Structure 1
Amino acid sequence: MRAVVHDRYGPPEVLRLEDVERPVPADNEILVRVHATSVTRGDCGWRSAKPFISRFINPIVGTGGVFRPTHKILGGEFAGEVEAVGAAVREFDVGDRVFGTSLFGAHAEFVCMRAAGPVAHMPAGMSFEEAAAVSDGAILALGCLRKAGPLEGRQLLIYGASGSIGTAGVQLARYFDAHVTAVCNTKNVELARSLGADEVIDYLQEDFTQNGETYDVIFDAVGKLRFRRCRGSLKDGGIYLPTDGFENGFWLLWTRRIGDKKVLVQIPPRYTKQDVLFLKELIEAGKYRAVIDRSYPLEDVVDATKYVETRQKTGNVVLTVNGGRPRSEKGRGNQ
């Protein structure tokens, strides 16, 4: 099968398309023919091994080595068709359309998944490209928001509300009945409103830390904020939810013992079938939609990765595999 591989850390150019052995599903696994996947902030971090200190943490949590990557095929999110099922699998059949997240391995034509893992039947009426852009950002946003406890009626600010995690966070917080203030740039103000934000702050025009408003929860969905900068914008007993930054590890420990404003982090992120099924229900109920900025063929993964690393994408960047079409649609031509 074709897959995007890398055997050293470095810039996007270390990625290359190569023929590798197709995985074989174990008794409790399914083999998925991937039609669409995505390039995420996490993929870029695993590949670059930046910041450098992450190289010493990766072996502890099983996401990489100190000097070289241990997972040569990146890609977490996927959507595709079941190609084969293990002997013990009862939930899925060959030909089923599925979506989910594998953490690694989805930048390929095939990926194996535990049937009991974070994979489910695709929502009705959803394309492969849309389904591939659901699981990572939304599950990460869910995990962070849950750390804050019940959100109903609380004032929640989402910084970076137009990225993958941010667009998911706005919709999920709205579903949980929070009062949502979204922070994004000018071009995404209307998008944030359409996703359910009650208020939108254009950070190119206004600094939310200087406007005198305070919030019960501040969620940094893009990893560019720091607790020191925004703690004055938290109400007494307020909670700061970061998604990046080793400095926040210090504040996590500090605020456990000192002060009433807390830094809370979900470590490590947890990807579960229950969350994938929850997202499926929201999508089918019209309560959630995937936001896609750009779509590239798998062969253009380097260009896709470079675009993600501008940190200016809106929503998700998708990779299509073999045109992103199911087998039944291939080879028909113009009929």
Structure 2
Amino acid sequence: MKAFVLTRYGEPEDLTLMDVDKPTPATGQVLVKVMATAINDYDWAMVRGKPDLYRLLFGITKPKSPVPGMELSGIVEAVGDNVTLLKPGDRVYGDISQFGFGTFAEYVCVNEKAFVHIPGGMSFEEAASLSHASMLAYQALYDYGKIGEGMKILINGGGGGVGFFGLQLAKLHGAEVTGVDTGDKLLAMKSIGFDYVIDYKREDFTRNGKKYDLIVDTKTTRSSISYLRSLNTNGQYVTVGGYLHRILETVVMNPVISLFSNKRVKLVPLVPNKDLGIINHLYSQGKLKCMIDGPYSFDKIPWALRYFGEGRHTGKVVIHVSR
């Protein structure tokens, strides 16, 4: 089979398309023919080995998993012993990061628990765009943001996958939603329903005097304390990704902030695929749509990774792998 292989940390262009052995499912695993995959922050960090702290997860001197990629949709081709949830021919999708990596390939073997069934009417490309970003958005808004009716919400990084899903989920509760991003993304954000958009290159939303009940941050480029002035009384700041040292700072600062304020800062420790059943239901009801940048062909993965890492994408960058 074909796979993009990374033998050392470097740049996206260092990924090499190679012929490798097709894997065989072990006990509890399924072999999935990858129909589509997507690009994520983890992929950008894994390929580059940056920030250095991530090497504790990915491998100190070189990647432990030579094939990056953590999100896929596909068709179950074979099953290992003791597999009870899936069978050959099932259309599935999921975030496999709880069990490993390797979706930048034509086939992958993963524990069956990494997948849910694709509902009728959902394309492989749509499914590939959903599992990671929709879960970050859902768990940020519901599990940690405690979304309520009519809230004022700001999403920093609103033009990416988490932002588009977060907007749609927030609108189910009649929220007023402001999105922060820049460039061509701003027009796309207005077109799909953001009430207000802010170009971060022109305006610092933490200093414009406006306040929100909930801030969901996909970028986390500054100290969590700087967001407090943009929160209403009892408001919450929730981060789902961004600069690692700023994310860790959020964990440290929450108990400190709670000593002198009713405001809270929180980190979402993502539980992969936990609420995909709810996402499937919303999709089937027509209440949730996918915003896909692409799909791009399999051979474009190094280019797509660079495109994503430089923040030029709108929505979710999806790769079409097989036909």
In the superposition, the TM-score normalised over structure 1's length comes to 0.86
**Mapping for residues 92-103 of structure 1, pairs under 5 Å:** 92-103=86-97
For residue 271 of structure 1, what is the aligned residue in structure 2? 272
Q: Supply the AA of the counterpart residue of 1:137.
A: A
Does 1:232 pair with 2:226? no
**Mapping for residues 153-302 of structure 1, pairs under 5 Å:** 153-185=150-182, 187-242=184-239, 243-245=241-243, 246-258=245-257, 259-260=260-261, 261-267=263-269, 269-272=270-273, 274-302=274-302
Distance 1:214 1:148 in 2: 15
For residue 41 of structure 1, what is the aligned residue in structure 2? 41
Q: Supply the AA of the counterpart residue of 1:244.
A: G
Instruction: Report which stretch shifted further, 103-112 or 178-187.
Output: 178-187
For residue 75 of structure 2, what is the aligned residue in structure 1? 81
Instruction: Report which stretch shifted further, 306-315 or 177-186.
Output: 177-186
Distance 2:146 2:198 in 1: 24
Distance 1:147 1:3 in 2: 37
Distance 1:175 1:85 in 2: 39
Residue by residue over 1:149-175, the C-alpha shift from the partner in whole angstroms, topping out at 9 and shown as x without a partner, is 243332211111111221122122223
Indicate the SS of the match to 1:129.
helix
Q: Does the 8 Å contact 1:163/1:222 carry over to 2?
A: no
Give the drift of 1:107. Answer: 0.8
For residue 125 of structure 2, what is the aligned residue in structure 1? 129
Does 1:53 pair with 2:53? yes
Q: Does the 8 Å contact 2:9/2:62 carry over to 1?
A: yes
Distance 2:222 2:127 in 1: 29
Give structure 1 stretches of 5+ with no counterpart.
Answer: 326-335
Shift in alpha-carbon separation, 1:247–1:91, aligned structure 2, 3 A: closer
Q: Does the 8 Å contact 1:252/1:262 carry over to 2?
A: no
Give the drift of 1:135. Answer: 0.8
Q: Does the 8 Å contact 1:119/1:276 carry over to 2?
A: no
Residue by residue over 1:214-267, the C-alpha shift from the partner in whole angstroms, topping out at 9 and shown as x without a partner, is 111111123445424332111122221222221342243223133323220023
Shift in alpha-carbon separation, 1:196–1:151, aligned structure 2, 3 A: farther
Indicate the SS of the match to 1:152.
coil
Give the drift of 1:303. Answer: 1.0
User: What do you get for the CA RMSD once the two structures are aligned?
Assistant: 2.1
Q: Supply the AA of the counterpart residue of 2:297.
A: P
Runs of 4+ in 1 over 4 A off after TM superposition: none
Indicate the SS of the match to 1:257.
helix
Does 1:303 pair with 2:316? no
Q: Supply the AA of the counterpart residue of 2:252.
A: L
Give the drift of 1:124. Answer: 1.6
Q: Supply the AA of the counterpart residue of 1:197.
A: F
Instruction: Report which stretch shifted further, 75-84 or 150-159.
Output: 150-159
* Number of residue pairs matched by the alignment: 314
Distance 1:203 1:292 in 2: 23
For residue 140 of structure 1, what is the aligned residue in structure 2? 136
Percentage of identical aligned residues:
36
Distance 2:148 2:155 in 1: 13
Distance 1:251 1:321 in 2: 37
Q: Does the 8 Å contact 1:35/1:80 carry over to 2?
A: yes
Q: Does the 8 Å contact 2:30/2:83 carry over to 1?
A: yes
Distance 1:225 1:289 in 2: 31
Q: Does the 8 Å contact 2:223/2:249 carry over to 1?
A: no
Distance 2:238 2:208 in 1: 20
Give the drift of 1:99. Answer: 1.3
Residue by residue over 1:175-234, the C-alpha shift from the partner in whole angstroms, topping out at 9 and shown as x without a partner, is 344332222335334433454433333445543223321111111123445424332111
